[in-house]
Structure 1
Protein backbone atom coordinates (compact mmCIF):
# COMPACT_ATOMS: atom_id res chain seq x y z
CA UNK A 1 0.00 0.00 0.00
CA UNK A 2 0.98 3.61 -0.27
CA UNK A 3 0.29 6.71 1.74
CA UNK A 4 0.88 10.43 1.78
CA UNK A 5 1.46 13.11 4.36
CA UNK A 6 1.31 16.89 4.10
CA UNK A 7 3.64 19.16 6.02
CA UNK A 8 4.17 22.91 6.21
CA UNK A 9 7.60 24.31 7.01
CA UNK A 10 7.22 27.84 8.34
CA UNK A 11 9.64 30.74 8.02
CA UNK A 12 10.89 30.06 11.55
CA UNK A 13 11.67 26.46 10.44
CA UNK A 14 8.97 24.72 12.42
CA UNK A 15 7.30 21.71 10.82
CA UNK A 16 3.53 21.43 11.06
CA UNK A 17 1.72 18.24 10.15
CA UNK A 18 -1.39 19.02 8.12
CA UNK A 19 -4.31 16.60 7.78
CA UNK A 20 -5.03 15.49 4.22
CA UNK A 21 -7.16 18.14 2.50
CA UNK A 22 -10.89 17.68 2.04
CA UNK A 23 -12.36 19.09 -1.18
CA UNK A 24 -9.01 20.80 -1.90
CA UNK A 25 -9.18 22.75 1.38
CA UNK A 26 -6.49 22.33 4.03
CA UNK A 27 -7.30 22.53 7.73
CA UNK A 28 -6.30 25.90 9.23
CA UNK A 29 -3.26 26.31 11.44
CA UNK A 30 -3.95 29.58 13.24
CA UNK A 31 -0.34 30.27 14.26
CA UNK A 32 0.63 30.35 10.55
CA UNK A 33 -2.09 32.81 9.48
CA UNK A 34 -0.95 35.07 6.64
CA UNK A 35 2.45 33.39 6.31
CA UNK A 36 4.15 31.94 3.27
CA UNK A 37 5.16 28.34 3.98
CA UNK A 38 6.86 25.51 2.15
CA UNK A 39 4.22 22.87 1.54
CA UNK A 40 5.77 19.40 1.42
CA UNK A 41 3.96 16.31 0.22
CA UNK A 42 5.51 12.99 1.19
CA UNK A 43 4.57 9.85 -0.75
CA UNK A 44 5.56 6.60 0.89
CA UNK A 45 4.96 2.87 1.00
CA UNK A 46 3.32 1.41 4.07
CA UNK A 47 3.80 -1.85 5.89
CA UNK A 48 1.21 -2.87 8.48
CA UNK A 49 -0.42 0.57 8.07
CA UNK A 50 2.78 2.44 9.01
CA UNK A 51 5.10 4.43 6.73
CA UNK A 52 7.96 2.17 5.66
CA UNK A 53 9.74 3.66 2.63
CA UNK A 54 9.83 7.17 1.20
CA UNK A 55 9.03 7.24 -2.53
CA UNK A 56 8.73 10.89 -3.58
CA UNK A 57 8.66 14.45 -2.28
CA UNK A 58 6.76 17.37 -3.81
CA UNK A 59 7.25 21.03 -2.89
CA UNK A 60 5.25 24.23 -3.25
CA UNK A 61 5.32 27.65 -1.63
CA UNK A 62 1.90 28.82 -0.57
CA UNK A 63 0.56 31.76 1.38
CA UNK A 64 -1.98 30.85 4.02
CA UNK A 65 -5.04 33.03 4.49
CA UNK A 66 -5.93 35.06 7.59
CA UNK A 67 -7.27 31.90 9.24
CA UNK A 68 -4.09 29.91 8.55
CA UNK A 69 -5.86 27.87 5.89
CA UNK A 70 -5.03 27.10 2.29
CA UNK A 71 -7.34 26.12 -0.53
CA UNK A 72 -6.11 24.65 -3.77
CA UNK A 73 -7.96 26.74 -6.36
CA UNK A 74 -8.42 26.14 -10.07
CA UNK A 75 -5.92 28.94 -10.76
CA UNK A 76 -3.27 27.25 -8.61
CA UNK A 77 -3.93 23.87 -10.23
CA UNK A 78 -3.41 25.48 -13.64
CA UNK A 79 -0.18 27.07 -12.37
CA UNK A 80 1.03 23.68 -11.11
CA UNK A 81 0.41 22.16 -14.56
CA UNK A 82 1.57 25.18 -16.56
CA UNK A 83 5.01 23.87 -17.56
CA UNK A 84 3.63 20.46 -18.45
CA UNK A 85 0.80 21.92 -20.54
CA UNK A 86 3.04 24.46 -22.31
CA UNK A 87 6.21 22.46 -22.86
CA UNK A 88 5.52 18.80 -22.02
CA UNK A 89 4.91 17.63 -25.59
CA UNK A 90 5.86 20.71 -27.61
CA UNK A 91 8.64 20.79 -30.16
CA UNK A 92 10.72 23.89 -30.94
CA UNK A 93 9.04 24.04 -34.35
CA UNK A 94 5.54 24.06 -32.83
CA UNK A 95 6.48 26.78 -30.37
CA UNK A 96 8.09 28.88 -33.12
CA UNK A 97 4.85 28.79 -35.15
CA UNK A 98 2.76 30.34 -32.37
CA UNK A 99 1.49 33.86 -33.08
CA UNK A 100 1.77 35.05 -29.49
CA UNK A 101 5.12 35.71 -27.81
CA UNK A 102 6.85 32.72 -26.28
CA UNK A 103 6.38 32.37 -22.57
CA UNK A 104 9.06 31.28 -20.16
CA UNK A 105 8.70 28.17 -18.04
CA UNK A 106 7.99 28.65 -14.35
CA UNK A 107 10.96 27.92 -12.11
CA UNK A 108 10.60 24.89 -9.85
CA UNK A 109 9.86 25.37 -6.16
CA UNK A 110 12.84 24.08 -4.21
CA UNK A 111 13.51 23.95 -0.48
CA UNK A 112 16.36 25.96 1.00
CA UNK A 113 19.24 24.16 2.72
CA UNK A 114 17.76 25.11 6.10
CA UNK A 115 14.34 23.75 5.10
CA UNK A 116 15.96 20.49 3.97
CA UNK A 117 17.78 20.11 7.29
CA UNK A 118 14.55 20.88 9.15
CA UNK A 119 12.68 18.23 7.19
CA UNK A 120 15.41 15.63 7.75
CA UNK A 121 15.35 16.35 11.49
CA UNK A 122 11.55 16.12 11.59
CA UNK A 123 11.56 12.78 9.79
CA UNK A 124 14.29 11.40 12.05
CA UNK A 125 12.33 12.37 15.16
CA UNK A 126 8.79 11.59 13.97
CA UNK A 127 8.87 9.07 11.12
CA UNK A 128 12.28 7.48 11.46
CA UNK A 129 11.57 4.79 8.86
CA UNK A 130 11.31 7.51 6.19
CA UNK A 131 14.42 9.40 7.31
CA UNK A 132 16.94 6.90 5.93
CA UNK A 133 16.16 7.51 2.26
CA UNK A 134 15.09 11.15 2.62
CA UNK A 135 18.39 12.83 1.64
CA UNK A 136 18.74 10.65 -1.47
CA UNK A 137 15.07 10.99 -2.49
CA UNK A 138 15.12 14.76 -1.94
CA UNK A 139 18.33 15.39 -3.86
CA UNK A 140 17.13 13.17 -6.72
CA UNK A 141 13.85 15.10 -6.86
CA UNK A 142 15.62 18.45 -6.81
CA UNK A 143 17.97 17.29 -9.58
CA UNK A 144 15.03 16.11 -11.67
CA UNK A 145 13.18 19.41 -11.22
CA UNK A 146 16.28 21.40 -12.21
CA UNK A 147 16.94 19.15 -15.22
CA UNK A 148 13.37 19.47 -16.49
CA UNK A 149 13.48 23.25 -16.05
CA UNK A 150 16.74 23.41 -17.99
CA UNK A 151 15.20 21.29 -20.78
CA UNK A 152 12.26 23.70 -21.00
CA UNK A 153 14.63 26.68 -21.22
CA UNK A 154 16.59 24.96 -24.01
CA UNK A 155 13.32 24.26 -25.83
CA UNK A 156 12.44 27.97 -25.73
CA UNK A 157 15.93 28.93 -26.95
CA UNK A 158 15.60 26.61 -29.93
CA UNK A 159 12.13 27.95 -30.72
CA UNK A 160 13.40 31.56 -30.58
CA UNK A 161 16.12 30.69 -33.12
CA UNK A 162 13.48 29.28 -35.45
CA UNK A 163 11.20 32.36 -35.29
Structure 2
Protein backbone atom coordinates (compact mmCIF):
# COMPACT_ATOMS: atom_id res chain seq x y z
CA UNK A 1 0.00 0.00 0.00
CA UNK A 2 0.97 3.62 -0.23
CA UNK A 3 0.22 6.72 1.77
CA UNK A 4 0.82 10.44 1.84
CA UNK A 5 1.38 13.12 4.43
CA UNK A 6 1.39 16.92 4.31
CA UNK A 7 3.79 19.09 6.26
CA UNK A 8 4.28 22.83 6.54
CA UNK A 9 7.72 24.19 7.22
CA UNK A 10 7.67 27.72 8.64
CA UNK A 11 10.25 30.46 8.08
CA UNK A 12 11.67 29.77 11.55
CA UNK A 13 12.18 26.12 10.49
CA UNK A 14 9.44 24.56 12.58
CA UNK A 15 7.60 21.60 11.03
CA UNK A 16 3.84 21.27 11.35
CA UNK A 17 1.98 18.10 10.48
CA UNK A 18 -1.10 19.01 8.47
CA UNK A 19 -4.20 16.80 8.50
CA UNK A 20 -5.19 15.50 5.08
CA UNK A 21 -7.26 18.10 3.24
CA UNK A 22 -10.96 17.60 2.68
CA UNK A 23 -12.30 18.94 -0.63
CA UNK A 24 -8.96 20.69 -1.24
CA UNK A 25 -9.27 22.61 2.05
CA UNK A 26 -6.52 22.30 4.63
CA UNK A 27 -7.21 22.71 8.33
CA UNK A 28 -6.06 26.10 9.61
CA UNK A 29 -2.96 26.41 11.75
CA UNK A 30 -3.47 29.65 13.65
CA UNK A 31 0.20 29.84 14.64
CA UNK A 32 1.10 30.28 10.96
CA UNK A 33 -1.56 32.87 10.08
CA UNK A 34 -0.45 35.19 7.28
CA UNK A 35 2.88 33.42 6.78
CA UNK A 36 4.47 31.89 3.73
CA UNK A 37 5.37 28.25 4.35
CA UNK A 38 7.02 25.44 2.45
CA UNK A 39 4.32 22.86 1.85
CA UNK A 40 5.81 19.38 1.60
CA UNK A 41 3.91 16.37 0.37
CA UNK A 42 5.44 13.00 1.25
CA UNK A 43 4.48 9.86 -0.67
CA UNK A 44 5.50 6.61 0.93
CA UNK A 45 4.96 2.86 1.05
CA UNK A 46 3.28 1.39 4.10
CA UNK A 47 3.77 -1.87 5.91
CA UNK A 48 1.13 -2.94 8.42
CA UNK A 49 -0.51 0.50 8.01
CA UNK A 50 2.66 2.36 9.03
CA UNK A 51 4.99 4.41 6.80
CA UNK A 52 7.90 2.21 5.75
CA UNK A 53 9.70 3.71 2.74
CA UNK A 54 9.76 7.21 1.25
CA UNK A 55 8.93 7.25 -2.46
CA UNK A 56 8.63 10.89 -3.52
CA UNK A 57 8.52 14.44 -2.20
CA UNK A 58 6.68 17.43 -3.67
CA UNK A 59 7.32 21.05 -2.68
CA UNK A 60 5.35 24.27 -2.94
CA UNK A 61 5.47 27.65 -1.26
CA UNK A 62 2.07 28.85 -0.13
CA UNK A 63 0.84 31.78 1.91
CA UNK A 64 -1.71 31.00 4.58
CA UNK A 65 -4.53 33.44 5.16
CA UNK A 66 -5.11 35.55 8.27
CA UNK A 67 -6.51 32.50 10.09
CA UNK A 68 -3.76 30.10 9.06
CA UNK A 69 -5.99 28.53 6.42
CA UNK A 70 -4.94 27.27 2.98
CA UNK A 71 -7.23 26.18 0.19
CA UNK A 72 -5.97 24.66 -3.04
CA UNK A 73 -7.80 26.68 -5.69
CA UNK A 74 -8.35 25.97 -9.36
CA UNK A 75 -5.95 28.81 -10.16
CA UNK A 76 -3.18 27.21 -8.09
CA UNK A 77 -3.79 23.81 -9.68
CA UNK A 78 -3.50 25.40 -13.14
CA UNK A 79 -0.28 27.16 -12.07
CA UNK A 80 1.13 23.85 -10.82
CA UNK A 81 0.41 22.26 -14.21
CA UNK A 82 1.45 25.27 -16.32
CA UNK A 83 4.90 24.00 -17.30
CA UNK A 84 3.62 20.54 -18.15
CA UNK A 85 0.69 21.88 -20.18
CA UNK A 86 2.80 24.44 -22.06
CA UNK A 87 6.01 22.50 -22.65
CA UNK A 88 5.41 18.84 -21.75
CA UNK A 89 4.61 17.33 -25.14
CA UNK A 90 5.61 19.99 -27.63
CA UNK A 91 8.45 20.17 -30.11
CA UNK A 92 10.47 23.33 -30.71
CA UNK A 93 8.79 23.59 -34.14
CA UNK A 94 5.30 23.44 -32.63
CA UNK A 95 6.24 25.96 -29.98
CA UNK A 96 7.69 28.33 -32.61
CA UNK A 97 4.42 28.24 -34.58
CA UNK A 98 2.29 29.49 -31.70
CA UNK A 99 0.80 32.94 -32.27
CA UNK A 100 1.39 34.06 -28.70
CA UNK A 101 4.69 35.40 -27.32
CA UNK A 102 6.84 32.70 -25.80
CA UNK A 103 7.04 32.76 -22.03
CA UNK A 104 9.54 31.22 -19.67
CA UNK A 105 8.63 28.18 -17.60
CA UNK A 106 7.84 28.67 -13.94
CA UNK A 107 10.88 27.85 -11.83
CA UNK A 108 10.51 24.83 -9.55
CA UNK A 109 9.98 25.32 -5.82
CA UNK A 110 12.99 23.91 -4.01
CA UNK A 111 13.82 23.75 -0.31
CA UNK A 112 16.83 25.60 1.07
CA UNK A 113 19.69 23.70 2.72
CA UNK A 114 18.31 24.63 6.15
CA UNK A 115 14.83 23.43 5.16
CA UNK A 116 16.22 20.15 3.86
CA UNK A 117 18.15 19.55 7.09
CA UNK A 118 15.06 20.40 9.14
CA UNK A 119 13.00 17.89 7.13
CA UNK A 120 15.65 15.19 7.56
CA UNK A 121 15.68 15.76 11.32
CA UNK A 122 11.88 15.80 11.50
CA UNK A 123 11.65 12.49 9.65
CA UNK A 124 14.35 10.92 11.81
CA UNK A 125 12.56 11.95 15.01
CA UNK A 126 8.94 11.44 13.95
CA UNK A 127 8.76 8.98 11.05
CA UNK A 128 12.08 7.17 11.33
CA UNK A 129 11.50 4.56 8.60
CA UNK A 130 11.12 7.38 6.05
CA UNK A 131 14.38 9.00 7.12
CA UNK A 132 16.55 6.15 5.86
CA UNK A 133 16.31 7.04 2.18
CA UNK A 134 15.08 10.65 2.56
CA UNK A 135 18.37 12.34 1.56
CA UNK A 136 18.61 10.24 -1.60
CA UNK A 137 14.93 10.70 -2.54
CA UNK A 138 15.02 14.44 -1.85
CA UNK A 139 18.23 15.08 -3.81
CA UNK A 140 16.99 12.97 -6.72
CA UNK A 141 13.71 14.91 -6.78
CA UNK A 142 15.51 18.25 -6.67
CA UNK A 143 17.85 17.16 -9.48
CA UNK A 144 14.90 16.01 -11.57
CA UNK A 145 13.04 19.29 -11.07
CA UNK A 146 16.14 21.29 -12.05
CA UNK A 147 16.79 19.06 -15.09
CA UNK A 148 13.21 19.39 -16.35
CA UNK A 149 13.34 23.18 -15.91
CA UNK A 150 16.56 23.37 -17.95
CA UNK A 151 15.00 21.16 -20.66
CA UNK A 152 12.04 23.54 -20.93
CA UNK A 153 14.36 26.56 -21.20
CA UNK A 154 16.35 24.82 -23.95
CA UNK A 155 13.09 24.04 -25.74
CA UNK A 156 12.18 27.74 -25.70
CA UNK A 157 15.64 28.73 -26.97
CA UNK A 158 15.26 26.37 -29.92
CA UNK A 159 11.78 27.70 -30.65
CA UNK A 160 13.06 31.31 -30.58
CA UNK A 161 15.81 30.44 -33.08
CA UNK A 162 13.22 28.87 -35.37
CA UNK A 163 11.10 32.04 -35.25
CA UNK A 164 14.00 34.21 -36.44
- TM class, shorter-chain normalised? over 0.9
1:131 partnered with 2:152: no
Map 1:2-17 onto structure 2 (within 5 A).
Answer: 2-17=2-17
Aligned with 1:119: secondary structure? helix
* Off by >4 Å, runs of 4+ in structure 1: none
Listed one character per residue, the Cα deviations across residues 61-111 of structure 1 (whole Å, up to 9, x for unaligned) are 000001101000000000000000000001100111111100110000000
Deviations 1:18-40 (A, max 9, x none): 00000000000000000000000
Aligned equivalents of 2:150, 2:126: Cα separation in 1: 35
The answer for the alignment partner of 1:92 in structure 2 is: 92
* CA distance in 2: counterparts of 1:18 and 1:143, whole angstroms: 26
Q: TM-score, normalised by structure 1?
A: 1.00
In structure 2, C-alpha distance between the alignment counterparts of 1:51 and 1:82, rounded to whole Å: 31
SS of residue in 1 equivalent to 2:57? strand
RMSD value over aligned CA atoms? 0.3
Query: Gapped runs of 5+ residues in structure 2?
Result: none
Match of 2:158 in 1: 158
Corresponding residue pairs, total: 163
